[in-house]
């Protein structure tokens, strides 16, 4: 194939990949807005019921990850998106450990998990923000 045709095909493919990424970011940000609204509307911690609170928040985060995984990923961005979602899944896993620690009354373990989660959140936010998911990438 002549080189001019290759450049034309490359331009079309690059444009299509950009459209897929734009769609992922647009739909991903909409999912993040929905997640933030649901999280904000969820019942707040009552009577130190950390187990219910943690399970509720972890379930909402799990749903967000599942919903984001359902979006078409731009070719070439698979590893970046997979890493972003794996980092989030790791944070959810750490967060879920807080429930059993609270049920056992293990304040030392709760504090350790809290510290671990607090250390992971900036990396999760950075990865979301760097990919264009500014709502999920917000440290708020």
Q: Which DSSP state fits 77? A: -
The DSSP annotation for 8-75 comes to: HHHHHHHHHHHHHHHHHHHHHHHHHHHHHHHHHHSPPP-TT-HHHHHHHHHHHHHHHHHHHHTSPPPT
pTM above 0.95, yes or no: no
Task: Per residue of the chain (140 residues), give pLDDT as tens.
Answer: 455 544 443 344 444 556 889 999 999 999 999 999 998 888 777 766 888 888 899 999 999 999 999 999 999 999 999 999 999 999 999 999 998 998 898 999 999 999 999 999 999 999 999 999 998 887 65
- Closest by alpha carbon to 42, among 28, 57, 32? 57
CATH, domain range 3-131:
1.20.120
User: Domain extents for the chain?
Assistant: 3-131
């Amino acid at each position: 194939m002549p080189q001019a045709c290759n450049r034309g095909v490359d331009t079309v493919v690059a444009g299509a990949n950009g459209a897929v990424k734009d769609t992922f970011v647009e739909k991903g940000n909409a999912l993040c807005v929905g997640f933030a609204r649901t999280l904000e509307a969820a019942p707040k911690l009552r009577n130190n019921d950390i187990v219910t609170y943690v399970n509720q928040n972890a379930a909402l985060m799990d749903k967000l990850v599942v919903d984001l995984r359902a979006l078409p990923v731009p070719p070439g961005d698979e590893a970046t998106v997979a890493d972003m979602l794996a980092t989030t899944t790791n944070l959810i896993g750490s967060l879920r450990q807080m429930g059993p620690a609270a049920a056992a009354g293990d304040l030392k373990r709760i504090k350790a998990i809290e510290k671990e989660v607090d250390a992971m959140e900036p990396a999760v936010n950075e990865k979301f923000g760097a990919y264009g998911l500014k709502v999920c990438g917000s440290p708020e």
